[in-house]
Structure 1
Amino acid sequence: MITYLQTKANDPIDQLWFMALEECNTKGKIKNLIISGTFPITELDNTFILDNKELAELWQQPSRPTQLKFNHGEYLNKKNKSAVNYLIEELKIKSDSNRACWSLIDMESLIDSGDTPIPSFLVLQAGISDDYSTLSITCYYRALEIKKFLPINLAEICLIASQINNSFGYKFRNIEITIHAFNAYIKDNFTCLNRARLDTFSEAEIATKIAVVGDGTKWLRGMLDEKMDHLESNIEITGINNLISSIKLYIQENNTTVYSKDFLNHLEIVASSIEKFNNIVKNSSYAANSTEQYKIVKSNIAKAIAKI
C-alpha cells in the first residue's frame, strides 16, 4: 500500500512536514509514504528550512562531526570529490541525466553493517525540466523519523538545491521535491543520532575527568544523567565501557572511596543491560520487549548514579 501526500498550489515548503506529521500522528507507522510538492525557488530560504540549516550542514559535512554517530557526508564525498559538485557536473553535461544521483551505501556496506547505525537516507536524484525552470530532487529513505528528522532532511535537500541553483546562475524558478520513505514513523524524544556526551570522550579523557578532586563526581553524574535521558535506537556502549575501564584503573591506583567497587558493579550491570537491549533490536526495530528493556537500562543507570 502507498500513502501519497501532495501539497497544494501556494503551500509553503514546510507543508511537506506538516502533512507527513499529521498522517503519522493519525495512522502510526506508515509503509511506503510518498510526499511531494513544487514550490517557488525562494522557499529554499523558508524560515522553517533556515531553522534547521545548521543541523543539515553537520549532516552534509565531508567528515563526521564528533557529536554524530555518523553523517551523510562521510558516505557521499569519495575519492576527494564533492558529491554536490558531482551532481552539478552531471547536470551541466546533460540536464536530464539519469546519473545525477547519489547512492549512500553499497551492498558491501549493508551486508557488513550488522546492527550498527547506517544511513536511512539511501538515494538522491536530481534533474532539470526541459525549459530549465524547475529543479527536481527525489530521495528514497529505508526509514524516516518524521517529527525530528524530516525537518533536517528537508533542510539538507534545500541546502543541496541551493548549491545547484547557485552554480546555474540562479536561473531556476521552482524546486520540486519528492520523498519516498519505506517506513515512516514518529519517535518521541528522538535524538536524531546525536551521541550522548559520555560517548564522545576517549578512555584517557574520561580517566582524566573522573580524577579531578571535587569535580570528578559532579562531572560523572552529569554524564550519566544525560546518557540516561538520551534516546537511542541502538544504544552506544562506548562511553560506558570506557568509564568502566577508567573506574577500574582509578580504584586500582588510588586508596580511596571516591568510586566504590559497588559503583563499578552497577556500571557493569548497565553495560550488560545495554548489550541485551541491542540484541533485542537486532531482531526487530519495533519489538515491544525492547521498550521494557530500555526502561531497565535507564533504571540501571539511575541505580549506578545513586552509588557515586
Structure 2
Amino acid sequence: MTTDFTEAKKTATKSMTMIQAINEGMRAVLEQDEMCLILGEDVGKNGGVFRATDGLQEAFGIDRVIDTPLSESGIIGTSVGLAVNGFKPIAEIQFMGFIYPAYDQIMTHVSRIRSRTMGRYSVPMVIRAPYGAGVRAPEIHSDSTESLFTHMPGLKVVCPATPYDAKGLLIAAVEDPDPVLYMEPMHSYRSFREEVPVASYTVEIGKGKKRIEGNDVTLITWGAMVPLVEKVVKQVGGDGISCEVLDLRTLYPLDEALIAESVQKTGRAVVIHEAPRTGGLGNDIVSIINDTAFLYLKAPVERVTGFDVPVPFFSLENHYLPTPERITKAIEKVIHF
C-alpha cells in the first residue's frame, strides 16, 4: 500500500492557473530546502501584488518570506550577499519595468561573481519578474525587455508559457547553481488552466518544446505569445497550411538544435515576440537560422513583433502587440514567397 500511495502521489495532478503553479513551485522549494527564501515588496503579508506568494509567509514565517523596502537595487544586492553565503534567494521584482534600478547589481555582480572569483563562488538566486502588455497596466508596468538580459553572459533567462512549465522551470531555476531571470507573462497568469503534477518536478533549462508538429513553416515564440500563435495555427490550418510551433521556454541559452532541426524541415520561419523589433531577441534567432539552416530556406525569415515605441496606453495597447492578422500575414508571405 505504501508503494501504491507513493506512486499515486507522484502521478497526481491538479488543475492550476499559471499564478497557482508559480505559487506551488515556490512552496515546493521552500519545503525542500531550508536555505531557500523569498524576498521582495509586499511578498509576505499581502502575498504579492498578483498573489503569487499568497499564504507562503503564513506557512514558512517572516524569516523566510520577507517583505522588503521599496528598493529594487537593495532587493537584488541583498540577494547576492545571501546567495554567495549559501542561501537560495528568490527575489521578486513587482513588474519587469521596475527592474532598471537593479540593473547595475545584475550586470555588475549577479552575472559576474562566478567569473570574478574563478569559480570559488556562485550565485544560486532567482529573479522573478512579471512582464508584458495586454493587461491594461499603467506606464512602465508592461515592458518586455528580455534582450537586455540575454545579452548578459552569466545570467540564464527563462520564460514559461503554461502552468506546467511555470512550476517546473521555477523549481529548476532554484536548483540551478547560477542566477536565473524568471520572466512571468502577466497576460497568462489566470487566462487558462492546465493539469499540473502535485509532486515536485523540473523542466530542463536550455530546452525548448515543440508545441505543434507541422511541415510548411516554423513559428518560433515564447511566453504570452504561445497561446496566440496556437490560435492562429488553427485558423490557417483550415487553409491547408501546416505550421510547426516552437516554444523556446529558455531565452538564454537558446535551444539552437531545436530551432535548426525544425527550420531545416520546413524551410520557412516566422519569429513572434512582443518586445520592440530593433534589438529584439528575434534578431538572434534569425542569426541562428542563417548559421544552421540557410541553405534549407525557401523564403526569408519574417518577424512579427512589438513596435519601436514604449508600450502605449490602453486604447493602443492591443495595436502594439502582435495580432492574429499580422501573424497570419507573415505566414502567408513566407508560404507564397
> TM-score normalized by structure 1?
0.33
| Larger proportion of helix | 1
> TM-score normalized by structure 2?
0.31
| Larger proportion of strand | 2
If you compute each CA radius of gyration, which structure gives the higher value, 1 or 2?
Answer: 1
